């Protein structure tokens, strides 16, 4: 193993002649404030290697330290890792930096360090002599998982958090509600999960497909499940950002509580949790009672999620029902917001103020720009770069996640065997050449780019293996884009990255990840006969 095998690539890595052997005598010297990293090393690396890593110091020890000098030079997420004949020294700028450095140490030990038990009991473990100095490019290195379209069991969420940590990603965007399912227990509104967490059937493939799965689908996370997920993520220095969608993407909530919808134009009592995909016309009614309901939802959400940011969706909200609704039109006049776009802005501005009063920050999809951007709101720029550019130039913080580049539900190849092919072809190499900060953005605006995020929408991903296939190996390329100080896309060493991936595939194998092989999908990964929605040609830059 050499420094060239590390993913994401570190800021600097200098290899030296020689190797250090870790064995049963190797001690772990945990300095002040390093206890969580020491526990992770003992539990995770200890399980894979069989090494006890007892407390102690001396020659050959692994030393963990929180270093003010490292923080000054590389920030709280930065670290310095030195391997010499005297042992391993890992200095973190803070606890997070120490943890990311521990991830690098794990990579250097080889793919077998990613297993849950030793495959060669009693074997020694070698590390190359080297010095690594590292820090992330962006503070927001995110992954969105949509658990509303297809529910993800709690154990698989925890597994995904481990996979994120292995790639030095630090924001988990938890898409918990949508038309097809409500996934979080809200104690004061039990029907949200009693009714809203289950649908009678599911469309198989794209919404234009004639095929259905008639097995009822659903599930939800209890409040204690959420607490466990949040705590597990925090131990891995991952922030969980919850998303509660409004005022669109709300049919599951309306099915549970029909008065939330526009009852003067739709028989909302007849609505069920939606069983197909696409943009749904059934949106929330613009009433004070609806605001109070969602304030109650968010009060419980804030109790469970310490994240500064709370995502409120705000995307794909058709205005047809509001146009037809006498009550909604009266509301437009009463509020003086001009039109239906103003109603959407009214929803978002209300929760922007409500969250700010409680020390939190609203973030939403770039449609929240319509009707006027809420004061203090941040934007997830998904329809392209344009919304993010406009928001950043106006002084709002932005997370860049353009669908044309980093929606991992988009297909990975143009071949006929790709399972349920959706969207543009985005290969591993394409994702590696993604640039979160668009050229031409002013220096002041560029400072508002908090970072970047890859999004995983699960309409055509019915289980964990399908999610694995769409996410990996491309998440490795995305992680390097988010972490590493890469040159401009045309100057990136794609061939070198692909060489490093040869080792990384072995790590993913050890972790049991059902990634897309470089040669194309295995027979069991294909979905013949399921209609997708492929889009030809390169994606536009918008």
The mean pLDDT values, 10 residues at a time, for the chain of 542 residues are 76 96 96 97 96 93 98 98 97 98 98 96 92 98 98 98 98 98 98 98 97 98 98 98 98 98 98 98 98 98 98 96 98 96 93 96 93 83 96 96 98 97 98 96 96 98 98 98 97 98 98 98 97 96 92
Q: Which helix (H) or strand (E) holds 217?
A: strand 217-218
What pLDDT digit, counting tens, does each position of 219-275 carry? 999 999 999 999 999 999 999 999 999 999 999 999 999 999 999 999 999 999 999
Q: What is the pLDDT of residue 31?
A: 97
Question: Of 3, 178, 397, 403, which is the active-site residue?
Answer: 178
Residue 146 known to be catalytic: no
Q: Mention every residue, 6+ apart, whose C-beta is less than 8 A from residue 104.
A: 6, 10, 79, 81, 132, 134
178 as an active site residue: the answer is: yes
- Could you tell me where the DSSP H helices lie in 395-459? 403-406, 428-432, 443-446
- Out of 249, 350, 396, 410, pick the active-site residue: 249
* pLDDT (0 to 100) of residue 4: 56
Catalytic residue among 112, 316, 429, 465: 316
Model confidence pTM above 0.95: yes
Residue 77 has a pLDDT of 98
Burial 448-478 (b: 16+ CB within 10 A, else e): bbbbbbbbbbbbbbbebebbbbbbbbbbbbb
Q: Identify the helix (H) or strand (E) that includes residue 241.
A: strand 239-246
For tokens 């929605």, name the residue.
Answer: 533
Q: Give the integer Cα–Cα distance in Å for 392 and 448.
A: 6
In the annotation, is 124 catalytic? no
Distance from chain centroid for Cα 495: 26
Query: Which pLDDT does position 2 carry in this prediction?
Result: 44
């Amino acid at each position: 193993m050499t420094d060239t095998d590390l993913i994401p690539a570190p800021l600097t890595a200098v290899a030296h002649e020689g190797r250090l052997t870790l064995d049963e005598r190797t001690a772990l010297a945990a300095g002040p404030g390093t206890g969580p990293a020491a526990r992770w090393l003992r539990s995770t690396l200890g399980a894979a290697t069989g090494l006890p890593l007892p407390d102690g110091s001396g020659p050959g020890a692994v030393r963990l330290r929180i270093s003010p000098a490292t923080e000054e030079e590389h920030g709280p997420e930065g670290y310095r890792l030195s391997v010499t004949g005297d042992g391993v020294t890992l200095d973190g700028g803070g606890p997070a930096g120490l943890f990311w450095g521990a991830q690098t140490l794990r990579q250097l030990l080889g793919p077998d360090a990613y297993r849950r038990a030793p495959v060669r009991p009693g074997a020694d473990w070698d590390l190359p002599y080297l010095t690594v100095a590292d820090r992330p490019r962006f503070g927001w290195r995110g992954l969105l998982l949509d658990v509303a379209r297809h529910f993800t069991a709690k154990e698989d969420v925890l597994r995904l958090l481990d996979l994120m940590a292995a790639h030095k990603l630090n924001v988990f965007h938890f898409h918990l509600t949508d038309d097809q399912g409500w996934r979080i227990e809200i104690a004061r509104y039990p029907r949200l999960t009693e009714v809203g967490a289950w649908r009678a059937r599911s469309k198989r493939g794209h919404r234009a497909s004639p095929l259905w799965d008639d097995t009822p689908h659903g599930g939800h996370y209890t409040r204690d499940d959420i607490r466990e997920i949040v705590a597990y993520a925090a131990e891995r220095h991952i922030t969980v950002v919850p998303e509660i969608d409004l005022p669109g993407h709300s049919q599951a909530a309306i099915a549970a509580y029909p008065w939330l919808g526009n009852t003067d134009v739709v028989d909302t009592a007849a609505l069920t949790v939606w069983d197909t995909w696409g943009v749904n016309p059934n949106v929330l009614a613009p009433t004070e009672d609806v605001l109070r309901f969602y304030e109650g939802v968010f009060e419980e959400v804030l109790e469970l999620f310490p994240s500064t940011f709370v995502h409120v969706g705000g995307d794909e909200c058709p205005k047809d029902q509001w146009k037809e609704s006498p009550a909604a039109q009266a509301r437009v006049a009463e509020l003086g917001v001009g039109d239906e776009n103003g109603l959407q802005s009214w929803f978002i501005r209300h929760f922007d103020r409500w969250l700010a009063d409680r020390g939190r920050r609203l973030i939403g999809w770039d449609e929240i720009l319509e009707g006027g951007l809420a004061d203090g709101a941040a934007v997830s720029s998904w329809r392209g770069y344009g919304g993010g550019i406009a928001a950043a130039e106006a002084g709002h913080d932005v997370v860049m996640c353009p669908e044309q580049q980093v929606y991992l539900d988009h297909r990975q190849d143009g071949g006929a065997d790709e399972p349920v092919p959706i969207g543009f072809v985005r290969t591993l190499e394409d994702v590696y050449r993604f640039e979160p900060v668009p050229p031409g953005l002013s220096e002041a605006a560029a400072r508002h780019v908090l970072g970047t995020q890859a999004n995983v929408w699960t309409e055509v991903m019915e289980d964990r293996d399908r999610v694995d296939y769409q996410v990996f190996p491309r998440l490795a390329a995305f992680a390097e884009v988010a972490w590493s100080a890469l040159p401009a896309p045309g100057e990136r060493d794609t061939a070198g990255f692909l060489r490093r991936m040869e080792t990384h595939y072995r790590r993913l194998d050890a972790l049991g990840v059902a990634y897309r092989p470089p040669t194309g999908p295995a027979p069991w990964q294909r979905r013949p006969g399921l209609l997708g929605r492929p889009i030809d040609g390169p994606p536009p830059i918008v």
